[in-house]
Chains A and B, each alone.
Chain A
Amino acid sequence: MEETRPKLGLSTLKRSLGRQLGMEKPQQRFEKLVLALSSDIYRYAYFLCKNQELAEDLVQETFVRAWRFLGSLRDERKAKSWLFTTLRREFARQFERYQPRFDDVEPDLLPGERSSQWEVLVVRRAMLGLPLKYREPIVLQVIGGYSGDEIANMLGVPRATVNTRLFRARQRLRKIFEDGVSDIDLDEIEVSN
């Protein structure tokens, strides 16, 4: 009799906690990650490799790895940086083997942006024209929404270095945005500390 009595004990609590903590089946977890994050992962990939086809390959590889190591992701809130870091490694790995080709076709913009399409295209070209070491922090900041500390962590460089690169990259892009041209040599921009 004792066993059949409904209990509001530990197991009920664990189940409801489990749900709240997102302890779902791997397939569901994975689908959620893909639906929520694949676009941003793709954008990051595109700005790293500058090629749409290669970017999609990188995204695919990243999620293949994510599926394989899903069990090691304990906290869903860390999923995005986990995927970004995985993609970054995958890019480094592929970059050693292939010389990425340049895209001739520019990817579409999302509709309904407030800036004029022209301005946006100018800025995007300027972003793609930045050397990788300047491009990557600003892409992590803008697409990933990461703070300077987080970017420093992901790139494995000091916070001050990240600040310098962000500052120089933004200076250059803003000049291009405002004047349409830039003759700034990035490495020459003074950063007062």
Chain B
Amino acid sequence: MNCLEFRRLIDIDPVSQDEDVILHKAQCESCAGFASRAARFSTALNAAARIKAPENLASRVLLRQSFLPSKSKFSRRNVFALAASVFVVLSLALSAAVVVNIQDPLAREIFTLVRYADYAMEPKIPLGEKPVAKAIARAGLKLEGRLDKVTFAGNCLLQQKIAGHLVIQGEKAPITVFLTREMQIDSKTAIRSDNLRGIVVPMEKGAIIVVGAAGESLTELVERVAAAVRWRHA
């Protein structure tokens, strides 16, 4: 191996363990100097590439995955395992939500849930009554009337408690509805982020939360949901 070949190899792979490379370095002072400069550069290059990943990135990835359908269904055990771990994760992930006029942690949690649950927005075909009733029952409530245009029905964790999570097609865009009987709210509250509007409406026990694009008639939807759901143990 000559000096040119050596230098070219070092430039392609500075940590080459090639026997000829090691041998040449031991024999050629000038190339050994070249190799040590290259090593110093490599250290800087490695450091330059090792940018710091965002805080809680892994938590946010796991949070998102916890909302994805799994082959082995969302079993009750999973839900409770999640209750223990995911809420911690959730509260950490909240910093990513954009909240314009409200510093309330609940509002931030709601917008984060909506933002991360984009998969729930995709279906456009209305569901039958069964999956909707099931999702609502899981939240300790009972579907007693009709709810039209529900395109997603599932559950999520809101303030560490299992809530019903529905998506109902609105005038312009899908509207997300959370139903919970585990929340203490004093009065009806409007919440907003940069592109979403929501209302949190207290029920006799718990709340209905509706989030959609500006211009949707959210109050009307709350009334529809309130009329269809009975606020007691299923």
- Residues of A whose CB lies within 8 Å of any CB of B are 26-27, 30-31, 34-35, 38-39, 42-43, 46-47, 52, 56, 59-60, 63-64, 67-68, 71, 107-110, 113-115, 119-121, 123-124, 127, 138-139, 141-143, 147-148, 163, 166-167, 170-171, 173-174, 177-178, 191-192
A121 to B37, CA, bound (A): 18
Tell me whether A173 and B45 are in contact (CB under 8 A): yes
> Which 10 residue pairs of A and B lie closest in terms of their CB atoms, listed nearest first?
A124-B48, A113-B47, A123-B48, A115-B44, A39-B53, A108-B52, A107-B51, A42-B53, A142-B49, A120-B47
Tell me whether B57 and A38 are in contact (CB under 8 A): yes
Tell me whether B8 and A31 are in contact (CB under 8 A): no
Chain B, residue nearest A126 (CB): B48
Fill in one digit per residue for B193-224: 1 if any A CB lies within 8 Å of its CB, else 0: 00000000000000000000000000000000
Tell me whether A26 and B51 are in contact (CB under 8 A): no
A63 to B47, CA, bound (A): 25
Chain B, residue nearest A70 (CB): B71
A39 to B64, CA, bound (A): 16
The DSSP consensus for interface residues of chain A is helix
Q: How many A-B residue pairs have CB under 8 A?
A: 123
Known A26-B71, A148-B12, A166-B12; contact A64-B44, beta-carbon cutoff 8 A = no
Chain B, residue nearest A111 (CB): B52
- Residues of B whose CB lies within 8 Å of any CB of A are 4, 8, 11-14, 37-38, 40-41, 43-54, 57-58, 60-62, 64-65, 68, 70-72, 78
Tell me whether B13 and A148 are in contact (CB under 8 A): yes
Tell me whether A31 and B62 are in contact (CB under 8 A): yes
Q: List 15 A-B contacts (CB under 8 A).
A: A27-B70, A27-B78, A35-B58, A42-B53, A43-B53, A47-B49, A63-B65, A64-B65, A109-B51, A115-B47, A119-B44, A123-B48, A139-B49, A142-B46, A173-B41
A181 to B94, CA, bound (A): 42
A35 to B11, CA, bound (A): 33
A143 to B13, CA, bound (A): 14
Q: Which residues of B contact A114 (CB under 8 A)?
A: 43, 47
The DSSP consensus for interface residues of chain B is helix
Which among B52, B54, B61, B64 has the highest number of chain A CB atoms within 10 Å? B61
A123 to B42, CA, bound (A): 10
B98–chain A nearest beta-carbon distance, Å: 12
Known A108-B52, A113-B47, A127-B48; contact A163-B12, beta-carbon cutoff 8 A = yes
Chain A, residue nearest B63 (CB): A60
A166 to B68, CA, bound (A): 39
- The residue that B51 contacts in the complex, of A59, A67, A108, A177, with Cβ under 8 A, is A108
Tell me whether A170 and B12 are in contact (CB under 8 A): yes
Q: Which residues of B contact A163 (CB under 8 A)?
A: 12
Q: Which residues of A contact B54 (CB under 8 A)?
A: 42, 52, 56
- The residue that A43 contacts in the complex, of B40, B51, B71, B78, with Cβ under 8 A, is B51
Chain A, residue nearest B72 (CB): A26
Known A26-B70, A124-B48; contact A63-B64, beta-carbon cutoff 8 A = yes
Chain A, residue nearest B66 (CB): A27
